[in-house]
Structure 1
């Protein structure tokens, strides 16, 4: 897809990203997104949040998080109107390239159990569920 621009997110588009995730993301179970959190992420790690842009509008995202130990992929989302055009693959390739350059030996992707489209995408890229693990969560405010 030569007309898609893949780039790092900017702090000034945090609101646009929140709107995009509300439209293209899937996960009603997670806490609400906050503008300040997106801004903090981009300020702390400017290359972590990768955006795909088509004709001047955000059509995809992925967060390629690296803590020096583990490489985690979050928020891979593509606008429903442009799915099937390879944008997810472009985003994932950029994210994996970044994480490899930082020293990652393995990638971990967060995928909802009931997200069939997402599961198919990740499987097509060589990712497999790790059945012996479960994600345990707790709100930081607890």
Structure 2
């Protein structure tokens, strides 16, 4: 089952991110994110167990998919695809015309996954500045 994140999911979500070698988003950052678009932070659950997570955000112009992760013991079961499809539906309901995401160049499996779902690589240059 896919549903919106609840605060009592946080420890399980952090464990999935850690197991999948993703950076764990601190509670303080999530509080700010959840104040804007809480319906775009999704978890996949099997009973009470969190098996996957995706963090989406929308700036009013573009949707972004961040921090997709699945428990390594539950990969290849369609959990990631189900999370992305649900998130896409929620973006559509908001009127979002385009979704962006970032894939590290060395992540060939990740790039294949996203391309299978219809996401196309773009030759953009990512620039970032920590504040």
TM-score, length of structure 2 as denominator length: 0.90
Aligned to 1:135: 126
User: How far apart, CA to CA, are the structure 1 residues paired with 2:125 and 2:74?
Assistant: 32
User: How far apart, CA to CA, are the structure 2 residues paired with 1:42 and 1:16?
Assistant: 17
Unaligned runs of 5+ in 2: none
User: How far apart, CA to CA, are the structure 1 residues paired with 2:87 and 2:21?
Assistant: 18
**Alignment length (residue pairs):** 131
How far is the alpha carbon of 1:56 from its aligned partner? 1.5
Kept after mapping to 2: 8 A contact 1:24/1:77: yes
Unaligned runs of 5+ in 1: none
Moved >6 Å (runs of 4+): none
User: How far apart, CA to CA, are the structure 1 residues paired with 2:8 and 2:34?
Assistant: 10
Aligned to 1:6: 2
Aligned to 1:121: 113
- Superposed CA RMSD: 1.6
How far is the alpha carbon of 1:134 from its aligned partner? 1.2
Kept after mapping to 2: 8 A contact 1:9/1:42: no
User: How far apart, CA to CA, are the structure 1 residues paired with 2:85 and 2:126?
Assistant: 25
* Greater fraction helix: 2
User: How far apart, CA to CA, are the structure 2 residues paired with 1:114 and 1:41?
Assistant: 28
User: How far apart, CA to CA, are the structure 2 residues paired with 1:34 and 1:64?
Assistant: 16
Instruction: Give SS of 1:13's match.
Output: helix
User: How far apart, CA to CA, are the structure 2 residues paired with 1:13 and 1:50?
Assistant: 10
